[in-house]
A and B are shown apart, each in its own frame.
Chain A
Amino acid sequence: MDRIADLWGPRTPHAKGTVWPARVDQYLADGLAEDQVDRWVQSACLLCSNGCGCEIAVRDGRMVGIRGRAGDVVNHGRLGPKGLYGSTPWASSPDRLTHPLVREAGRLVETDWDTAMARIVEVSRRLLADKGPLTHGFYTTGQLFIEEYYTLGVIGKAGLGTPHMDGNTRLCTATSAAAFKESFGADGQPGSYTDIEHCDAIFLYGHNMAETQTVLWSRILDRTRAADPPLIVCVDPRRTPVAREAERTGGVHLAPRVGTNLALMNGLTRELFVNGWVDEPWVRAHTVGAADLRSIVEPYTPREVARVCDVDAGELSRAARIFGESRDVLSTVLQGFYQSHQATASAVAVHNLHLLRGLIGRPGSGILQMNGQPTAQNNRECGADGDLPGFRNWDNPNHVRELAELWNVDPLTIPHWSPPTHAMQILSYAEEGSIGLLWISATNPAVSMPESARVRRVLAGDQCFVIVQDLFLTETAQLADVVLPAAGWGEKTGTFTNVNRTVHLSEKAVDPPGEARSDLEIFLMYADAMDFRDRDGAPLIRWRHPEEAFDAWREASRGRPVDYTGLTYEKLRGPTGIPWPVNDQAPEGTDRLYTDAVFPTDTDRCETYGHDLLTGATVTEQEHRALRPAGRALLKGARHTPPHETPSEDYPLLYTTGRTVYQWHTRTKTGRARTLNDAAPDAWVELSVADAARLEITEGDVVRVESPRGAIQVRARVGQVREGAVFAPFHYGAWDPAGLDVDASPSRQANELTMTVWDPVSKQPYFKTAACRVTKIRAGAGPAPAPTTAASAPATDGVPPTAGGPPTTTRRVDTPHYPNDPGAR
Chain B
Amino acid sequence: MHLVTYIGLAHHSEQTLAESLRVIGDGHASQPDVLHTCHTLAGFSDGHLARLAPIVARYGEQGHGEVEEPERLHAAGLAQVRSGPVGLLRDLQDLHVLATLVLTTWTVINQAAQGLRDHELLTLAGEAGGETSRQLSWLNTRMKTAAPQALIVAT
Contact = CB atoms under 8 A, between A and B. Distances in A.
A433 interface: yes
A434 B152 CA distance: 9
Contacts of B135: 615
A529 B57 CA distance: 73
A612 B145 contact: no
Contacts of B145: 418-419, 421, 425
A617 B138 contact: yes
B37 A616 contact: yes
Contacts of A760: 33, 37
Given A418-B145, A428-B31, A641-B40, A131 B152 contact: yes
B138 A433 contact: no
Contacts of A433: 155
Given A417-B148, A434-B153, A612 B40 contact: no
Most buried by A among B33, B134, B137, B140: B33
A418 B142 CA distance: 9
B32 A757 contact: yes
A755 B33 CA distance: 12
B140 to A, nearest CB: 7
Contacts of A337: none
Contact of B144 (A417, A429, A616, A756): A417
A597 interface: no
Contacts of A317: none
B50 interface: no
B41 A132 contact: no
A134 B32 contact: no
B116 interface: no
B138 to A, nearest CB: 4
A193 interface: no
Say what secondary structure dominates the interface of chain A: loop
A131 B152 CA distance: 7
B141 to A, nearest CB: 5
B154 interface: yes
A644 B152 contact: no
Contacts of A421: 145
A433 B154 CA distance: 8
B137 A615 contact: yes
A641 B42 CA distance: 13
Contacts of B111: none
Contacts of A792: none
Contacts of B82: none
Given A432-B154, A434-B85, A758 B148 contact: no
A131 B141 contact: no
B98 to A, nearest CB: 17
A758 B155 contact: no
Interface string A665-703: 000000000000000000000000000000000000000
Given A428-B31, A758-B32, A617 B137 contact: yes
Contacts of A12: none
A732 to B, nearest CB: 25
Interface string A130-152: 01101100000000000000000
| Chain B contact patch, size range | 20 to 34
Contacts of B114: none
B135 to A, nearest CB: 8
Contacts of A132: 152-153
A644 B36 contact: yes
A630 interface: no
Nearest to B43: A641
A617 B141 contact: yes
Contacts of A619: 137
A618 interface: yes
A734 B148 CA distance: 37
Given A417-B148, A418-B144, A758-B32, A615 B154 contact: no
28 contacts: A131-B152, A132-B153, A134-B149, A134-B153, A418-B144, A428-B30, A428-B31, A432-B154, A434-B85, A434-B153, A434-B154, A435-B153, A612-B134, A614-B134, A615-B40, A615-B41, A615-B134, A615-B137, A616-B37, A616-B141, A617-B134, A617-B137, A617-B138, A755-B32, A756-B32, A757-B36, A758-B33, A760-B33
Nearest to B145: A418
Contact of B152 (A134, A428, A614, A616): A134
Contacts of A434: 85, 149, 153-155
Nearest to A759: B33
Interface string A407-431: 0000000000111010011001100
B148 A617 contact: no
Given A134-B148, A418-B145, A616 B153 contact: no
A756 B36 CA distance: 11
Interface in B96-147: 134-135, 137-138, 140-141, 144-145, 147
A131 B85 CA distance: 16
B89 to A, nearest CB: 13
Contacts of B149: 134, 429, 434
Interface in B37-70: 37, 40-41
Please give me the 3 A-B residue pairs with the lowest Cβ-Cβ distance, nearest first. A617-B137, A617-B138, A434-B153
Contact of A418 (B41, B137, B148, B154): B148
B94 to A, nearest CB: 18
Interface in A103-132: 131-132
Nearest to B133: A617
A757 B36 CA distance: 9
Given A617-B134, A619-B137, 7 more contacts: A134-B152, A134-B153, A418-B144, A418-B145, A418-B148, A617-B137, A760-B33
Most chain A CB within 10 A, of B141, B152, B155, is at B141
A781 to B, nearest CB: 40
With a 10 A CB-CB cut-off, give which of A132, A614, A755 has the most chain B CB atoms: A614
A616 B148 contact: no
A631 to B, nearest CB: 25
A419 B154 CA distance: 19
A612 B134 CA distance: 8
Given A134-B153, A433-B155, A616 B138 contact: yes
Interface string A629-667: 000000000000100100000000000000000000000
Given A131-B153, A134-B153, A135-B153, A616 B33 contact: yes
A612 B140 CA distance: 13
Contacts of A614: 40, 134
Interface in A355-378: none
Interface string A752-779: 0001111010000000000000000000
Contacts of B140: 617
Among A417, A424, A616, A617, the one with the most B-chain Cβ atoms within 10 Å of its Cβ is A617
A615 B142 CA distance: 10
Given A434-B85, A434-B153, A644-B36, A615 B148 contact: no
Contacts of A617: 134, 137-138, 140-141
Interface string A432-468: 1111000000000000000000000000000000000
A618 B137 contact: yes
Nearest to A134: B153
Contacts of B155: 433-434
Nearest to A127: B153
A134 to B, nearest CB: 5
B86 to A, nearest CB: 11
B137 A432 contact: no
A268 B33 CA distance: 29
A289 B152 CA distance: 40
Contacts of A644: 32, 36
A617 B137 CA distance: 5
A755 B35 CA distance: 13
Contacts of A756: 32
B39 to A, nearest CB: 9
A606 B135 CA distance: 25
Contact of A615 (B31, B32, B138): B138
A739 B152 CA distance: 44
